[in-house]
Structure 1
Amino acid sequence: MKQPPSKEEQGLWEQILDYSNRANPYPLYAQLRSAPVTKLADDSYLVSTYAEILSLLHDPRVSSDPRRNPQALAAAAAAAGAPGAADEASPEEVSEASQSFLLRDPPDHDRLRRLTMRHFGPPNAPRRVTDLEPRMLEIVTELIDDMEGRSRVDLVEDLAYPFPVSVICELLGVPAEDKPRFRVWVDRLLESTDPNLDAETRMQRQREAGQDLNAYMGELVAAHQKDPGGDMLSAMATDDGPEGRMDTEELVSVGLLLLIAGHETTVNLISNGALTLLRHPEMLQRLRAEPDLAIPMVEELLRYEPPVHFVPFRTAIDDIDIAGTTIPKGSAITLALAAGNRDPRHVADPDRFIPDRPNNAHLGFGSGIHICFGAPLARLEAQTALTEFARRLENPRLVEDPPPYRLSPLLRGPKHLEADIDGVLAADHSGAP
């Protein structure tokens, strides 16, 4: 049996993708930044420095539509459950309607995003997120109350995962009893990003999970169309705004985007945040004494330990000259957001965690037209969870450092985060809104 290549034989990108480096890829990112743009073995391009990433996130010559790139097209077809996706996919197999606005270019992207935002934020639904704040606090309180009487907790399973899942389900109108069902499918979809799997296995897992998720969301959309409630999915399904409403296939694709992205990245943000605070107990004490510190602290966490490390499968639709390199038209581009966040040309002392760092223009939510749609919700969830974690758990201590990480190099965070605690303090919400 052929042995895997040694570290010396691996290229830098291969080392970054290697699971053995998942716990601390940042020294490798530092090496990567020595060349802002790197051409990889498959003729795609990797961009790793802050200014260049930011430029490309705003560049109309960079497309997010997978139909413009064979690698991205196959992955999108598999995730959508298209037949034969493990071998070859055609643009026809990834219909425009089956793509969320995350995978579209203007003007279609702009239309779908506007139709979704009408029911999520200003000006039409200005309190959709802020009105959830009391319920968020209630959910976190219940989860931490359940830790009482235990000397060891898993901050992923007991807090970072169930909290944002509960919030997004209530926001969208997903029945609570369905949470275990879609967790299996989402986990399978994310595991398919493991670069150690062969391409056929990755595509097979994506296709299977995509079929199940699409079927489930199709049933959910039909139920909300027939019997709408006060949730966001019902609002989109019965929209009577000036631009009309999404068709059923568009509702399914947008619903899946909101369901998956609406909790998966926040799970990592909260678990990475808890891990960082456990590694910096003086900052944990500060947060306990200064709850308002949570606001800038979450911004620093989005820079220092972001939940999303890479934006893959962008495509150059024209030649792009950047940092002394020409990225040819038709080339695939990957943006290394986490490497850019620690670019010393952007921030001083980039490898230090400074909760009240000034002028923190991070890439944690991306930028440009595809900037994270759910950023206001994720910020509030992380602020709530981490503040209550700091307030209520007595003397939390890491059991294992580094903890085991999830397989995905794109969505990076602990799979489990065990901590020993001396007890759970009573909730005190006297100053809560």
Structure 2
Amino acid sequence: MTTTETPDTLRRILDYSSRADPYPLYAELRRTPVARQEDGSYVVSTYREIMELLHDPLTSSDVRNLTRPIPAMQESTTPSFINLDPPEHDRLRRMAMRHFGPPHTPGLVAGLEPFLTDIVDGLIDGFADKERIDLVDDFAYPFPVTVICHLLGVPREDEQRFHVWVNDLINSIDYDPQVDPKEKLEKGVQARKDLRQYLGALLEQRHGDPGEDLLSRLANDDGPDGRMTDEEIVATANLLLIAGHETTVNLITNGMLTLLRHPSVMRRLRDDAGLVVPLVEELLRYEPPVHIIPWRAAFGDIELGDTTIPKGSQIMLMLASGSRDPNRFPEPDRFDPDRRDNQHLGFGSGIHLCFGGPLARLETQIALSGLVRRIDRPGLVADPPPYRRSPVLRGPLHLLIERDGG
């Protein structure tokens, strides 16, 4: 493995013109598994090297360890645990997990299945008379938003407010001062402030009038690690609100698009409900909702193969490229729900393995099963569909489907 500069390939991946199909460019990028960029950052694109970094204690998630600051992350607010390292990361993640999953609340996600099914059925009932639907606006967005609002205790009627904030925040993630207008960064910074202020106001209400929602539980629970500060609770709620729906919207929409492109698999799923479990795992490999971890920091000099990544360097992990690495997955560009040994990178790996992965899996399983079962002969209106701007959280902006179009 040699380290060379490949700025043009990365630039084309990040350019919107490649959003519909970045995979040939990922294959080009994998020729140099660890590629130094002109700005001194490193792009890692192969499965083995990505996994090694995700499990390396010298790979930091705290951007304060970067020599070159990230403009989109320059804020004075308390970071969420996803942007922290042990031991603070571990403490905060444990405190949040007490109310979100095993071992303290092991039945939470599984117990949501009837609730999730009712939402899916209601949404599909809502467009029963439509000949054409937008899977994003009519289904894939409102479904996980309803779920995460319910879990956190966020009023569903406030969705339009935080939808704008989240969009501005996501759009600012890949801000490049050399090509992007400063307004893109400013809107993201302001959105982050507005969203946290909004969540802080909700938290204040929970102190005086706690309920059964996650905000209330975090605000009033004294576990083995003590109680989170209000700033830590707001940071955690901010993370869960964004990650709790953004990635699932993409996973559901990418999933339905993939099924429409593979009608034989769709027919199999309609006849065999159990297929949905391995099918969603293959979707997480083949068309994942998160394509890139745009920044990690080298906490010290990292030896990766025959490359030394210097301390303080920015590292960009190309997760979607790693999940299509032919050295790890046979026929990686083939969608195969029967694939064995499918240890994809769809939810990352290591200590930052996606906190909400079990919920996203169940939501997508129920969503795709319901859509396939109840929409007759669906057909794509446009292929490829228009995509969202972000190369990091990649998915269609709209997905128009016609009934009796297949």
Match of 1:282 in 2: 264
For 1:121, what is the secondary structure of its paired residue?
coil
Structure 1 distance, partners of 2:47, 2:180, is 31
CA distance in 2, matches of 1:356, 1:162: 30
Matched AA of 1:128: L
Q: Quick check: 2:66–2:297 contact (8 Å CA) kept in 1?
A: yes
Question: What displacement does 1:388 show?
Answer: 0.4
Q: Say which is worse superposed, 238-247 or 266-275, in terms of deviation.
A: 238-247
| Among candidates 369, 373, 376, match of residue 391 of structure 1 | 373
Partner in structure 1 of residue 362 of structure 2: 380
Which residue does 1:316 correspond to in 2? 298
Shift of 1:199: 5.9
Residues in 1 aligned to 2:181 and 2:103: alpha-carbon distance in whole angstroms: 44
**Match 1:267 to one of 231, 249, 253:** 249
1:193 CA displacement: 3.4
* 1:180 CA displacement: 1.1
Q: Which residue of 2 aligns with 1:158?
A: 138
Matched, 1:127 2:127: no
The partner residue of 1:19 within 8, 16, 19 is 16
Alpha-carbon contact 1:36-1:323 (below 8 Å) kept? no
Alignment pair present for 1:67 and 2:64: yes
The equivalent residue for 1:201 is 183
**In 2, distance between residues paired with 1:396 and 1:112?**
44
1:403 corresponds in structure 2 to 385
Q: Does 1:339 align with 2:339?
A: no
Whether the 8 Å CA contact 1:399–1:419 is kept in 2: the answer is yes
Q: Which of the numbers 304, 324, 330 marks the counterpart of 2:312?
A: 330
> Secondary structure of the residue that 1:11 maps to in structure 2?
helix
The answer as to 2:337 corresponding to 1:355 is yes
SS of equivalent to 1:257: helix
Cα separation, 2, equivalents of 1:164 and 1:280: 25
Match of 1:42 among 32, 39, 43: 39
Matched AA of 1:117: M
Preserved contact between residue 307 and residue 364 of structure 1 (Cα < 8 Å): yes
**Percent identity of paired positions between Structure 1 and Structure 2:** 57
Give SS of 1:315's match. Answer: strand
1:64 touches 1:313 (CA, 8 Å); kept in 2? yes
Specify the alignment match of 1:228 in structure 2. Answer: 210
Following superposition, the deviation at residue 242 of structure 1 comes to 2.0
- Counterpart of 1:57, as a letter, is L
Unaligned runs of 5+ in 1: 1-8, 83-92, 424-433
Q: CA RMSD in A?
A: 1.5
Give 2:3's aligned residue. none
* Distance in 2 separating the partners of 1:355 and 1:318: 40
How far residue 179 of structure 1 moved from its aligned partner, in angstroms, is 1.0
CA contact 1:140–1:385 (8 Å) conserved in 2: yes
Task: Give the corresponding residue for 1:184.
Answer: 164
How far apart in 1 are the matches of 2:315 and 2:359?
29
Q: TM-score of the superposition, structure 1-length normalised? A: 0.90
* Structure 2 equivalent of residue 28 of structure 1: 25
- 1:383-407 Cα deviation digits (max 9, x unpaired): 0000001100000000000000000
**Unaligned stretches of 5+ in structure 2?**
1-5
| Whole-Å separation in 1 of the counterparts to 2:326 and 2:97 | 35
Secondary structure of the 2:315 match is: strand
Measure the CA separation in 2 of the matches of 1:205 and 1:299: 35
* Amino acid paired to 1:380: L
Query: Normalising by the residue count of structure 2, what TM-score does the alignment of the two structures yield?
Result: 0.95
Q: Answer yes or no: is the 8 Å Cα contact 1:270–1:386 preserved in 2.
A: yes
- Equivalent residue for 1:5? none
Q: Is the 8 A contact 1:67 1:73 kept in 2?
A: no
**In structure 2, C-alpha distance between the alignment counterparts of 1:72 and 1:226, rounded to whole Å:** 39
Question: What SS does structure 2 have at the residue aligned with 1:56?
Answer: helix
- Give the deviation of 1:182 after TM superposition: 0.5
- Give the match for residue 3 of structure 1: none
Provide Cα deviations, 1:12-65, integer angstroms capped at 9, x if missing partner. Answer: 110001100100000000000011000111110000000000000000001000
CA separation in 1, counterparts of 2:175 and 2:161? 25
Q: 1:101 aligns with which of 56, 77, 81?
A: 81
- C-alpha distance in structure 1 between counterparts of 2:57 and 2:172, whole Å: 29
Distance across 1 between alignment mates of 2:69 and 2:199: 23
- Cα deviation, 1:234-272, whole Å, max 9, x if unaligned, reads 111111212211010000000000110011000000000
Q: Assess if the C-alpha contact under 8 Å between 1:302 and 1:362 holds in 2.
A: yes
SS in 1 for 2:112: helix
> Once the 2 structures are TM-superposed, how far is the Cα of residue 310 of structure 1 from its aligned partner?
0.5
Aligned length: 398
Distance (Å, rounded) in 1 between the aligned partners of 2:98 and 2:230: 17
Letter in 2 for 1:30: A
Q: What is the letter of the counterpart of residue 356 of structure 1?
A: D
2: distance between equivalents of 1:208 and 1:176?
A: 22
Structure-2 residue corresponding to 1:297:
279
